[in-house]
Amino acid sequence: MSRYLFDNTDARTPDRFSVLESCYDPFSRRQLQLTGLAPGWRCLEVGGGGGSLGDWLAQQVGPGGEVTITDLDPRWAQSRPHPPQVRLLRHDIVNDPLPGEGYDLIHARLVLLHLPERLDVLDRLVAALRPGGRLVLDEFDCTWTPILAAPDEESASLFQDLHSALLTQLEKAGADVRWGVRTHAAMTKAGLHEVTSMTYGESWAGGGKGISLHRVNMQQAREGLLADGVTEAQLTRFYALLDDPAFVVNSYPLISTRGRA
């Protein structure tokens, strides 16, 4: 049974979506364009979060197309207006029947990573494509976050220790923190053709927007972190480090994999 660690009831969720949109939407849009995305297409955006990519897809498919944005908890996407060709659904991709079939394009970013049932979900997504339809999965390798600069070695160790503790929380909730590097093989095994991947990363300096993803994630996992022995003092030092411009870490690499049914 999936238990999404960063559930959308938390008031800090818009901070997460805002980082994901500003850092990764331009890259995700480019990958979606590479599928041949065209006016009239029927698209499914799974676990659409704030809904920015679903809205962008709607612009590309135009009034003759259709975009269904699903989410387990769509409250943040509901809080903004969408083009008329967007249908927004509260939907659990693990337990609910898919909202349609014969899609030209299905996209999900950072959703299957969290789901213990990800391989079953993948099979169901592939089955919901029309012949020749495209699936694009954008996923992180959460383990590859090299530190590019640090004020001292102690700070670098603090980041690494607390980040490892966060990954443990994710794994306890059923996430595969290396799913990004396993997606390509899984999509091939699921029967897709012409499977190809591209990866995006950037530097995240203390005080900048991107690095604040670590703050919101750590804050939301706080209870489990403290239960596992992380101290308040460590968390305070960690948050201060995220504000220090002398500290620079590589973003999570977003590995975008696409294939054809």
Ligand X SMILES: C[S@@+](CC[C@H](N)C(=O)[O-])C[C@H]1O[C@@H](n2cnc3c(N)ncnc32)[C@H](O)[C@@H]1O
Residue 49 lies near ligand X (rule: CB under 6 A): yes
- Strand 203-205 and strand 248-250: the pairing is antiparallel
Determine the Cα–Cα distance for residues 113 and 137; give it in Å rounded to an integer: 10
Mark residues 108-147: x for contact with ligand X by CB under 6 A, - for none: -xxx--xx--------------------------------
Determine the Cα–Cα distance for residues 44 and 127; give it in Å rounded to an integer: 13
Stretch that binds ligand X, among 2-10, 36-44, 97-105, 185-193 (CB under 6 A): 2-10
Residue 4 lies near ligand X (rule: CB under 6 A): yes
Mark residues 58-97: x for contact with ligand X by CB under 6 A, - for none: ------------xxxx-----------------xxxx---
The residue (of 8 and 155) whose beta carbon lies closer to ligand X is 8
Determine the Cα–Cα distance for residues 169 and 222; give it in Å rounded to an integer: 10
- Strand 147-149 and strand 86-90: the pairing is unpaired
DSSP 145-160: --EEE-SSHHHHHHHH
Determine the Cα–Cα distance for residues 116 and 196; give it in Å rounded to an integer: 24
The residue (of 4 and 144) whose beta carbon lies closer to ligand X is 4
Q: How far is the CB of 112 from ligand X (least distance, A)?
A: 9
- List contacts with ligand X (CB under 6 A): 2, 4, 8, 17, 20, 47-49, 70-73, 91-94, 109-111, 114-115
